[in-house]
Amino acid sequence: MKKILTCLIICCTVLRIRAENGHELWLRPRTALPVRVICERSSPALAIARRELEDGWVGKADASVVLAFTKDRAIKGDGFRLGQRGIEAKTDAGILYGVYELLRRQQTGLPISEEVCNPSYERRILDHWDNPDGSIERGYAGGSIFWRKSNPFAITDGDKVLWQQYARADASVGINGAVLNNVNASPLILSTDYLARVKAIADILRPYGIRTYLSVRFSSPVQIGGLTTADPLDPGVENWWKEKIKDIYQLIPDFGGFLVKANSEGQPGPQDYGRSHADGANMMADAIRPFGGIIMWRAFVYKASDKDRAKQAYAEFTPLDGQFRDNVIIQVKNGPVDFQPREPFSPLFGAMKKTDVMPEFQVTQEYLGQAVHLVFLAPMWEECLKSDTWQGGPGSTVAHCTDGSLYPQRYTAIAGVANIGLDSNWCGHPFAQANWYAFGRLAWNNRLTSGQIADEWLRLTFYPIQRQRKEPAGYQADWETHFLQPVREMMLRSREAAVNYMMPLGLHHLFSANEHYGPGPWWAPQKVRPDWTPPYYHKADTGGIGFDRTNTGSDAVSQYHEPLRSQFNSLFTCPDMYLLWFHHLPWSYRMRSGRTLWQELCYHYEEGVRQVREFQNIWDKVRPYVDDERFVLVQSKLRSQSSNAQLWKDACLQYFGQFSRQPIPPDIERPVHDLDDIIRDDTMRR
């Protein structure tokens, strides 16, 4: 009888789940109850806060909510105090963040108690890799929301609405900054026409507490300024930047500053003139200092070299520790290579004790299946933030090394490479929205767990919004049991599944040259620099596989503080998940599981494929709880992901099997693709 009742409830619910395309993200409109908002001040941000409360209140009907300002020393920056009567803060933005937190707790059923909520990082920034022509480098959700190829300087009402919706989504999770253009910056971004558009964007973002930033090309004084040099110690270059920055602040008084990629992947920089990164960053920092701006100088640097690419950022930047101005912050990718599915944390975290350092995560899934694969990235970022660097003794996590709690920093910041485009659901994949949400939540509170974030996002994004009548009795408990729990578990396992079917046991950079999507461990054209090819990283031969970074290899282990240095260096203590990152091992090496290394690789690839197939089953079972449009789209994406996982497994096991000369274990499913066909298809796509 109970089962029959449950089925009836589900069937009734299906009829009432409204169609959704995901454009509203986690901010779906609710049927609000009346509320009285009390605030003695007025401003654009406070007007938004009031409107959000009136449009989204689901607490006690006719309650009074007080928005008040305080000098409470326990509240830092744009933090706030949340209480039963309302919100206290020191800034307008703090009030707005408090309103979003209050509504989030109401809508997810979290308790609302007397509590101070301070941000972990002062600046919480999305880096958009958008180009002036409207394209997006590593963008998988359509064109840019900021720039257009045709009629690029016209600003329409549609543009303004989209920018406002974007700003609202950012503010709702605590993001307070946006770099509007690609780190591989076009000098055009600093031209008069483009700066006028930047001003228009900034005007829309400002009431939501969001500052605008720009990526700039170091050689801009030459390319658009008419100078013959971009030498940072040249007085003419210094003056050019001062005048350009002055022009920007006349348009945008709260402009945040510049993000700079220099002397990396062919980008110009101070080293072109025999100067250091500190020379280049400090020149720009001095020019922007009078206006309160900052320079975010990326540590993602490497040159064509026979040396270990993973060591280059540490080698270039640690000797400069203490030489940067205090309004320069070094932006460091989470790992030492390049946003791989799994890397150890960058050894720069904690090593630069006299310089402000900020983490850079990649929200767009360049190396994790892009907008096709369901991969929840919060576990990846949590793994990095909670990694102990040991630089200040035990407990010196990456989070503590960057949020000001271990070393004093004038500025604390964190950046995420955005996954946002013109697709109706913003991110290309309904579940890719969770990564935008997760970045904002971790940037605000780097102590949150992936489980907490997944739970919040699912409740806000998928719980059916009932507009006609009350839910059937017991529906919420049924939804939590049959939708929330299995889908949350799927999200939490999805990153590890991707590692399994792509690059387990510390393997990395095995991608095809075809946009970093599918497998290509064989790809190594003679005319391509070695560190852009997979064999540079996996070094597979008949003797074994893996990159030897021990003290008898490239010695990358020496860049880590003890006891990590010894732990990674030793086969007895190196974690399996980093084994082939730090060691080149024979195929017959006996793993902790008792299997050989070859067998262990086979079982990991098999497990990854099995996990994705299980995700398909989970999603099919939750059909009654999801609207048609989003259900069908995710179902289709999971089919593609399952097919691609199979391709990864077949390609890697057959390719590496040529070197191992060992059979695939008999209890593992046989490959369904021929290696020659995979290589031929990959070549044709290029």
Please name which of 435, 416, 419, 437 lies closest in space to residue 28, comparing C-alpha atoms: 437
User: What tokens were used for 61?
Assistant: 């009907």
Give me the pLDDT at residue 686, please. 65
Tell me the pLDDT of the chain averaged across its residues.
Answer: 95
Per residue in 376-422, pLDDT tens?
A: 999 999 999 999 999 999 999 999 999 999 998 999 999 999 999 99
pLDDT at 11: 45
| 79 within 8 A of 127, measured Cβ to Cβ | no
pLDDT at 13 (0 to 100):
45
Per-residue pLDDT tens for 81-131? 998 899 999 999 999 999 999 999 999 999 998 999 999 999 999 999 999
Cα distance between residue 70 and residue 79, in whole Å: 11
pLDDT of residue 305: 72
**334-344 residue pLDDT tens:** 999 999 999 99
Q: Which amino acid makes up residue 354? A: K
* pLDDT recorded at residue 471: 67
Coil, helix or strand for 530?
helix
pLDDT of residue 387: 98
Q: Are 150 and 205 in contact (CB under 8 A)?
A: no
In order, the DSSP letters of 132-187 are TTS-BTT--SSS-SS--SSSTT---HHHHHHHHHHHHHHHHTT--EEE-S-SS--G
Residue 585 has pLDDT above 60, yes or no: yes
Distance CA(142)–CA(134), nearest Å, equals 9
Longest dimension (CA), the chain: 84
Cα gap 143→611, rounded to integer Å: 32
Q: Is the pLDDT of residue 466 over 70?
A: no
Residue 544 β-bridge partners: 541
CB contact set of 545 (below 8 Å; sequence gap of 6+): 507, 538, 539, 580, 584, 585, 587, 597, 656, 659, 660
Q: Which helix (H) or strand (E) holds 68?
A: strand 63-69
CA dist list (Å): 605 to 242, 277, 600, 651, 668: 54, 42, 9, 10, 10
* Residue 303 scores a pLDDT above 80: no
Task: Say what the pTM is.
Answer: 0.96
Structure tokens at 401: 């090394």
Measured distance CA(23)–CA(26) in Å, rounded: 9
Helix or strand holding residue 16 (H, E): helix 2-16
| DSSP one-letter string for 319-352 | GGTT-S-TTEEEEEESSSSSS-SS-PPPTTTTT-
What does the alpha-carbon distance between residue 65 and residue 444 come to, in Å, rounded to a whole number? 23
Q: How far apart are the first and last CA of the chain?
A: 59
The span from the CA of 19 to the CA of 9, in Å, is 19
Exposure string (b/e) for 31-62, b if CB count within 10 Å is 16 or more? ebeebebebeeeeebbebbbebbeebbebeee
Dihedral in degrees, nearest 10, Cα atoms 650, 652, 605, 496:
-130
Does residue 258 contact residue 296 with C-beta atoms inside 8 Å?
yes
What are the boundaries of each domain within the chain?
Answer: 28-118, 123-447, 498-547+584-685
User: Tokens 């084994």 belong to which residue?
Assistant: 579
What type of residue is 126?
L
Would you state the pLDDT for residue 685? 74
**What's the CATH number for 498-547+584-685?**
3.90.1330.10
* Residue 625 CB partners (closer than 8 Å, separation 6+): 10, 13, 17, 462, 464, 479, 482, 483
What Cα–Cα distance (Å) separates residue 468 from each residue in 16, 17, 31, 108? Answer: 8, 10, 10, 20
Using DSSP, how many helices (H) and how many strands (E) does the chain show?
21, 13
Phi-psi region of 142 (alpha: psi -120 to 50; beta: other; left: phi over 0): left
CATH number of 28-118: 3.30.379.10
pLDDT 10s digits, 48-61: 999 999 999 999 99
Q: CA nearest 407: which of 388, 394, 391? A: 391
Instruction: Give the pLDDT confidence of 146-199 residue by residue, as tens digits.
Output: 999 999 999 999 999 999 999 999 999 999 999 999 999 999 999 999 999 999
Selection from 569, 568, 580 nearest residue 499 by Cα: 580
The predicted structure's pLDDT at residue 2: 47
pLDDT for 633 equals 98
Which residues are known to be catalytic? 265, 338, 366
Pairing state between β 115-117 and 80-82: antiparallel
**In the beta sheet, which residues pair with residue 331?**
298, 358
pLDDT at 357 over 50: yes
Q: Percentage of residues in the chain with pLDDT exceeding 90?
A: 92
pLDDT at res. 513: 84
SS3 of residue 214 by DSSP: strand
Average pLDDT over residues 255-283: 97
- Pair 321, 349: CB distance under 8 Å: no
Name the band, by pLDDT with cuts 50, 70 and 90, for residue 587.
very high
How many Å is the Cα radius of gyration of the chain? 26
Phi, psi of 12 (to 5 degrees): -65, -40
For residue 358, the SS3 value is: strand
Is the pLDDT at 12 greater than 60, yes or no?
no
User: Given a cut of 50, is residue 683 above it in pLDDT?
Assistant: yes
More confident: 202 or 266: 202
Q: Which residues contact 356 (CB under 8 A, 6 or more apart)?
A: 324, 326, 328, 329, 330, 409, 410, 411, 412, 413
What percent of the chain has a predicted confidence (pLDDT) above 70?
96
Q: What is the pLDDT of residues 517-550, one digit of tens each?
A: 999 999 999 888 899 999 999 999 999 999 999 9
Phi, psi of 19 (to 5 degrees): -70, 140
Topology of domain 123-447, CATH: TIM Barrel (3.20.20)
Torsion angle defined by CA atoms of residues 191, 193, 194 and 200, in that order, rounded to the nearest 10 degrees: 140
The mean pLDDT of 32-58, rounded to a whole number, is 97
pLDDT digits (tens, 9 = 90+) for 609-660: 999 999 999 999 999 999 999 999 999 999 999 999 999 999 999 999 999 9
Give the C-alpha separation, 7 to 460, whole Å.
24
Residue 436 near residue 421, CB atoms below 8 Å: no
Residue 681: what pLDDT?
A: 86
Mean pLDDT of the 442-464 span: 97
Residue 1: predicted pLDDT = 46
Output the pLDDT for position 4: 45
Q: What pLDDT is attached to residue 684? A: 76
The pLDDT value recorded for residue 17 is 67
Say whether pLDDT at 15 is over 60. no
E-state strands within 191-251 = 211-216
